[in-house]
Amino acid sequence: MKKAIAIIEERLGEDVSVEQIAGECYVSPRQLYRDFYSLTGHPVYEYIRRRRLSKALHLIKYSDMEPASVVYACGYSSQAAFCRTVKALLNMTPTAYKAGTVHYYFPVFNTAMPMQVEVKTVRIPSMIAVHYFGNQLAGIEDRAVQALLSILPQYNGLLLGRNEKQAGKRFCYELQVEYCRETLERVRGSQGLAIHRITPPVEQLYATTIVNNAEADINQAWNYLYSHWMKISMFEQENLPYFEAYVLRKGKIRRLVLHLPIRLSADYPAISIQTCPDRLFLIAAQRGSHAEKAAAEVLTEFLAKQYPYLLETQKEYYVSGGHDCCTCGIVLHEHRYVPDDGSISVLEVPGGLYAVLEGTSQGNRRGEEAVLAGWVEEHGLNRESRAQVFTVFDASGGTGHGHIGMKSYIKLADNDNTAGGIQTTIRVCSINTVEERVR
């Protein structure tokens, strides 16, 4: 599956077939269909369609490429075909998308991550909310769904569910079905389900992920959304209830789409994609529990003896690494003498396309580097295989509280067909979403 996903990414601009992908992965097309859907939750062709559209809209939004060039670079047969695709999904033209505030991205599926998270605005029609009560919490979702389907055996509309407050000693689970008068009358006369309310139509931003109908998988997915994904994303939880959308087949729950309500964090930093020149840093690297402090001391001691004027004039400082291994440095404008004992060295950082997060020294360096790495991954950008996240502190504006600037960098692959080698700037000031129905 890793190879199949890599092939798709390499050939988004081509007319690649499932048979070709299966042949290069040494599996049958039938097995590829089955395994790909089992892993990603998306059929192969649907995954290709969404990734291709995500790449194309990224270029439309953030580059100076002509629309015709974008269309053919991303594998569309014509501008008309591309316009129809955008219109069907976003209900707008590519020109309106470029000028507007609606954003869409569908990330590359990462086989190393527990699950794929998609951010989108979900349109929910008017719903009938019913309550199911039971004496046992375990399995209450399945029992509630079966009770509903016994009343509405042919129902194939949107079906949502979530836990509700316990009523005395009885546990409660809420289900929501699309409103119509016939459905309302059938549910009203049923046993075991109580109509709670009729909800109005609503649109809301959600982080969504697809999971199998297994309690362990569902719990793991919710924990991942709350405890990991949201911490490194540009979003925070909205003050609204979560829900689970059920994917049914022949009256059985096959999968669930978890929906976590979110909003753009008010203090989320600006992230941009920039073309940076080659740079030199004079560095010292140390290991241990206080690696950053030790590396800074080694570097400062060397500079005080060898280049004291750099200590007085240099205002930009390099830091990379974690708790037990850290590299500290200063910016150089030309190569300098360094001892051959390995304590000090010159680091050459190649120029090219970088994802850059801007902040101040009041922020947490490792936390903001994690945010930047998460942003690159979520947007489906190709990171340079050996690229290490690093941060440059700039004290040219003074050393007072909040005056030291901080920029974290990740080098993007030279062959990244999202950026296409074009200098672009992305300011994260609007929510990346797609307006579509949850189903």
**Residue 359 vs residue 321, higher pLDDT:** 321
What global pTM score does this model have?
0.54
277, 428 contact by CB (below 8 A): no
Q: What is the pLDDT of residue 266?
A: 65
Same domain, 86 and 18: yes
Q: Is the pLDDT of residue 424 over 60?
A: no
- Residue 61 in any domain: the answer is yes
* 295 token code pair: 């590396």
- Per residue in 184-240, pLDDT (tens digit) is 988 887 777 888 889 999 888 888 999 988 888 999 999 988 877 777 676 788 989
- Residue 52 in any domain: the answer is yes
- Residue 222 in any domain: the answer is yes
What DSSP element (H or E) covers 23?
Answer: helix 18-24
358, 322 contact by CB (below 8 A): no
- The last residue of a domain, from among 222, 239, 264: 264
Q: What is the pLDDT of residue 170?
A: 87
Percentage of the chain beyond pLDDT 90 is: 30
| Sign of the alpha-carbon dihedral angle for 285, 287, 291, 297 | negative
Average pLDDT, the chain: 83
- The last residue of a domain, from among 100, 134, 165: 100
Tell me, what CATH number does 52's domain have? 1.10.10.60
Per-residue pLDDT band for 269 (boundaries 50, 70, 90) equals low
Q: Is the pLDDT of residue 290 over 60?
A: yes
- The last residue of a domain, from among 264, 296, 328: 264
Percentage of the chain beyond pLDDT 70 is: 87
Q: What is the pLDDT of residue 363?
A: 56
Give dist(CA 151, CA 131) in Å, integer: 14
Give dist(CA 57, CA 104) in Å, integer: 7
Same domain, 94 and 170: no
**Residue 225 vs residue 398, higher pLDDT:** 225
Same domain, 96 and 142: no
Q: What is the pLDDT of residue 349?
A: 93
**DSSP tag of 425:** -
- Residue 17 in any domain: the answer is yes
- Residue 437 in any domain: the answer is no
Q: What is the pLDDT of residue 339?
A: 81
DSSP assignments along 163-222, one per residue = EEEEETTEEEEEEEEE--HHHHHHHHT-SSEEEEEEEPPEEEEEEEEEEES-HHHHHHHH
Q: Is the pLDDT of residue 245 over 90?
A: yes
Per-residue pLDDT band for 99 (boundaries 50, 70, 90) equals confident
Same domain, 259 and 274: no
156 burial level (CB within 10 Å; 0-12, 13-18, 19+): exposed
Question: Which of 83-87, 297-301, 386-390, 425-429 comes out lowest in average pLDDT?
Answer: 425-429
- Per residue in 14-41, pLDDT (tens digit) is 888 999 999 999 999 999 998 887 777 6
Q: What is the pLDDT of residue 201?
A: 93
Per-residue pLDDT band for 114 (boundaries 50, 70, 90) equals low
- Residue 425 in any domain: the answer is no
Which domain does 55 fall in, by range? 2-100
Give dist(CA 222, CA 202) in Å, integer: 23
- Residue 19 in any domain: the answer is yes
Q: What is the pLDDT of residue 367?
A: 75
Same domain, 289 and 257: no
Same domain, 163 and 247: yes
Tell me, what CATH number does 312's domain have? 3.20.80.10
Same domain, 345 and 286: yes
Give dist(CA 340, CA 345) in Å, integer: 8
Q: What is the pLDDT of residue 422?
A: 36
Same domain, 243 and 357: no
* 209 token code pair: 């992920």
Same domain, 242 and 139: yes
- Residue 430 in any domain: the answer is no
Q: What is the pLDDT of residue 390?
A: 95
Q: What is the pLDDT of residue 360?
A: 62
Q: Is the pLDDT of residue 388 over 60?
A: yes
Same domain, 231 and 141: yes
Same domain, 295 and 370: yes
* 323 token code pair: 């708790």
Residue with the two structure tokens 């990740």: 410
Same domain, 84 and 216: no
Domain count, the chain: 3
First-to-last alpha carbon distance for the chain, in angstroms, is 25
